[in-house]
Amino acid sequence: TEMAAPGGGDAIELGKRHLIQPWPYAGSVGAEARALIAEGDGIYITDNTGKRLIDGPAGMWCVNVGHRREELAKVMYDQAMALSYNTPWYTMNAPSAELAMRIAGHAPGDLSHVFYTTGGSSAVETALRFMQFYNNVRGRPEKKLILSRGGAYHGSTYLSASLNGRPRDRDWMDGADELVIKLSSPDPFRRPHGTSLAAFTDFLVDQFRDTVARVGADKIGAFVGEPVQASGGVVIPPDGYLKRIREICRDNDILYVSDEVVTGFGRLGHVFASGDVFGIDPDMITFAKGVTSGYFPLGGVIISERLLEELRRSNHPDAMFGHGLTYTSHPVGCAVALKNLDLLEEGVLAHAQAVAPYFQAQLKTLEDLPLVGEVRGAGLMACVECVADRESKDPLQLDKNVGKRIDAHCHELGLLVRPLINMCVMSPPLIITREQIDDMVGILREGIS
């Protein structure tokens, strides 16, 4: 077949001929190539036509400290020149150890040790394989089922994807369904008509408790949940819900895995939201994305000292956790993550906390548009949910591409939007200023109108 000349020709055409992008439809697989982004700077990206856009989703919820940070580029260069790679099997590098120490310092409870991965899916996969290993070593091989929820997104590897609960993601895909039990999404907007928030919370907690009782705690190994469901539409759980779920897990020896791939590293104004925002101390936290602000593919799991101590004291001290990735503890990734954490600690977190109320309040003004059913959010993540009818909240009668159409209008006007069927998710770089928030909301208003 014809070979494309590297760097030659129109990149969109090359993409159509040789690239498969995420979530393609069968009918256009390998033939669809979306907007070509050529440059980034601060909260802006520039497409191949030279059009500058506000990066509304911060890449994929990840460019937290913004594009083109010279400090980050420099540290990657310096680390690659000093040591670009070492095997994590029987050697170690200093950035990975220092980063683990600093991450553990920000984590709640007794989370003390970090296992690094290449991103979020592999972090969730690692947490689940660790749960399986942990229960095998403890002589509880039956305790392996995983609780997840509607609206969840945990990744695209086989087991992590099996937890996903968003509509359409699973329709055409296989998964380890025999290992997963799905519970309701804690989505207050979609609670049954006429139900109070308190009654809805009780329903969710009862459903969790009843499921554990029905299936048997001796069969359930872990609950995996995002503190705020991100790709499910920025679902803010009702007050007290996460704490009550955490208690049920503790009482039933079910490991609580808090998936902070999106909420971690500043999105909710703190390095981790589990403890600092929601007051819970999970058994494991998964992270990725913002840990390097997207400058390098890196993720990881933080694991509780209690679990590690149990393994050390087990009757099987020689049992091996047969799990590791070539790029576990990558020195360049860990070095850039350390610098990124410096930036967060030295001002970006404080800035995110300071502008978050303004960001939420300005987006909330869009609720006066007839198409908008609700604007909700926390920190610097928000969702504008469109409905056909505000009373029935019916999204089904809408053009299923309404999000894409809003995105297309906004693109014309200078804003990249993350469309999710009938929802538009906004999660800009955390360095966004009040003036830039005004620009963003102004464009969104015009695009939706």
Which residues here bind ligand PLP, judged by CB under 6 A?
119-121, 124, 153-155, 226, 230-231, 259, 261-262, 288, 299
CB of 165 or CB of 447, closer to ligand PLP: 165
* CA 73 from centroid of its chain's CA atoms: 24
Residue nearest to ligand PLP (CB): 120
Shortest Cβ 129–ligand PLP spacing (Å): 15
Q: What separation, in Å, do the N-terminal and C-terminal C-alpha atoms of the chain show?
A: 47
Shortest Cβ 159–ligand PLP spacing (Å): 12
Query: Element (H or E) spanning 420, and its range?
Result: strand 418-420
Alpha helices, H only, 261-348: 273-276, 305-312, 331-343
Shortest Cβ 441–ligand PLP spacing (Å): 24
Query: Quick check: 12 and 33 in contact, CB under 8 A?
Result: yes
Instruction: Give the E-state strand segments of 189-260 in sequence order.
Output: 220-225, 255-259
CB of 56 or CB of 119, closer to ligand PLP: 119
The Cα–Cα gap between 66 and 401 comes to 29
Shortest Cβ 259–ligand PLP spacing (Å): 5
Shortest Cβ 184–ligand PLP spacing (Å): 18
CB of 134 or CB of 153, closer to ligand PLP: 153
Shortest Cβ 262–ligand PLP spacing (Å): 5
For every residue of 25-72, DSSP letters joined together read -GGGTTT---PPEEEEEBTEEEETTS-EEEETTHHHHT-TT-B--HHH
Among 232, 237, 275, 270, smallest CA distance to 256 is for 275
CB of 166 or CB of 190, closer to ligand PLP: 166
Six token digits for residue 173: 């895909």
CB of 382 or CB of 448, closer to ligand PLP: 382
CB of 168 or CB of 434, closer to ligand PLP: 168
